[in-house]
Amino acid sequence: MKIGRDLTILEEIWRDVDIVVNIAATTNFDERYDISLALNIFEAEHVYNFALKCSNMKLFLHVSTAYVCGEKSGLIMEDPYKMWETLNG
């Protein structure tokens, strides 16, 4: 039965994966809205939900593509931030 085998493989992946890096996105600013939304929002949510199921997770790294610095100008140092913390507080 293929479904049982697939579930066994998926459970093995959830058990063995300890680092997830998400870098998939589109930086095409003329992209159709539905494609941008799918790639930059929903895809990140799917990757995050996958990572939540990984029992040995040590690192989840999401690399954003554009406008991550908000409205600040000039040199912005790359200080580490805590989960859910933003440049604007």
Give the H/E segment covering residue 37: helix 33-37
**pLDDT tens sequence across 38-87:** 888 899 899 999 999 999 999 999 887 665 556 667 776 666 767 777 66
Q: How far is CA 12 from CA 31, 44, 46, in A?
A: 37, 22, 18
Per-domain boundaries in the chain: 1-89
| Secondary structure letter of residue 20 according to DSSP | E
Alpha carbon distance 16, 10 (integer Å):
10
Q: Is 67 helix (H, G, I), strand (E, B) or coil?
A: coil
> Who wins on pLDDT, 36 or 54?
54
> Does position 3 have pLDDT exceeding 60, yes or no?
yes
Alpha helices (H) along the chain: 2-16, 33-37, 43-52
